[in-house]
Chains A and B, each alone.
Chain A
Amino acid sequence: MNVRELAHVMALTEFIMPEPEREVSGGYVGDLLSWVMGRAQTGNVWLTIMSNQNVAAVALMAEVSCVVLTEGVRPDEALRQRAEQQNINILGTKLSTFDAAAVLKQLLR
């Protein structure tokens, strides 16, 4: 499954999606950026409520396929800009992090 297909089946809001063809493999949940940095794997869908610009830097470093902002959180302007510059996919959902992770787990089985 790629990011575009994921966005479609989970009905995600597409905030910034410069690389819709990226393949999705697994997921990671976390809000403390330093924690995510060392643990998220290449291709993961990263679920978080953090919406500041460092999210783009960490997503780039961890090579996640996309960031999904949960709980209805929206990216702030600085994050939008950095995500555009650095080709990071930023999506969103109104689901709680728990529910979003549960749906994702089902989809990626």
Chain B
Amino acid sequence: MGIRLYFDFHFHSCLSPCGDEAMTPATIAGMCKLSGLDVAALTDHNTCGNCPAFCQAAEAYGLLAIPGMELCTLEEVHVVCLLPDLDRAMAFQAEVYRRMEGRTNDPAIFGRQLLMDVDDHVVGEETAMLSGATNIGVYEAAALTESFGGVAYPAHIDRESYSLLSNLGLWDPAMGFPLAEVSRRCPPDLLRGRRDLRGVETITGTDAHYLHQIVQAEQAMEVPARSREAVMAWLRRGGR
């Protein structure tokens, strides 16, 4: 018998320019616990900067926490990237930063990018513009994440912007993604008729940018152990 874990791997903190400032890493962790999740990941745009605070807070609440990032590829396709530990998350972040265009964020236009500690203190503001594409192509994203020990899959493929289907038109197995994320609003039959998506498993990501978007946990996985490795292996097997 496996262990049943309720999961959601798509949350934005106040470090994402579009994330609400009430979305502090510790508050998100608390809301995740209240919503009934067992395992959660923080996935800010092109950064893992608030993952240390999130993981520490989540573990204090008894959650299994996974450091993550929502990578924006060259084609402006959003990809959820999950990393096995904080060290490799930070190394992955360094690689992503190296491959951004080097613009500075204008908080008045895009919003502030707050770095927080586990006690909800602002410890800094990220100056690099996180809202925007990297030069990492969508065919490279899965392999790059794997090279840091992680797993990656395209985010909200049912959406009309920043999604693999909207920007590229079709699913190509050569991209190497083990499964896909759909949004909560995705109609159940939307993807069924598509030949390219036959056999592609999907999971739901909340993509919460505001606290009220963190709602009752709905999806669970069955894994042999309550560990990051087991969770990531389940994802790599295509949600099996």
A residues contacting B by CB (< 8 A) are 32-35, 37-38, 50-52, 54, 57, 60-61
Contacts and interface: CB of A to CB of B under 8 A. Distances in A.
Contact of B76 (A34, A38, A57): A34
Interface of B: 72, 75-76, 101, 103, 106, 109-110, 131-133, 160-162, 167
A57 B109 contact: yes
15 contacts: A32-B75, A32-B133, A33-B133, A34-B76, A34-B132, A35-B133, A37-B132, A38-B103, A51-B161, A52-B161, A54-B131, A54-B161, A57-B109, A57-B110, A61-B109
Q: What are the 9 A-B residue pairs with the smallest beta carbon separation, nearest first?
A: A34-B133, A52-B161, A34-B132, A32-B76, A57-B109, A61-B109, A60-B109, A57-B110, A34-B76
A61 B131 CA distance: 12
B76 A61 contact: no
B160 to A, nearest CB: 7
Contacts of A51: 160-161
Contacts, number: 31
Nearest to B100: A34
A8 B131 CA distance: 35
Contact of A33 (B76, B106, B160): B76
Contacts of B133: 32-35
A91 B106 CA distance: 25
Query: Which of B72, B76, B162, B167 has its CB near the most chain A CB atoms (within 10 A)?
Result: B76
B106 A50 contact: no
B19 to A, nearest CB: 14
Given A32-B76, A57-B109, A52 B132 contact: no
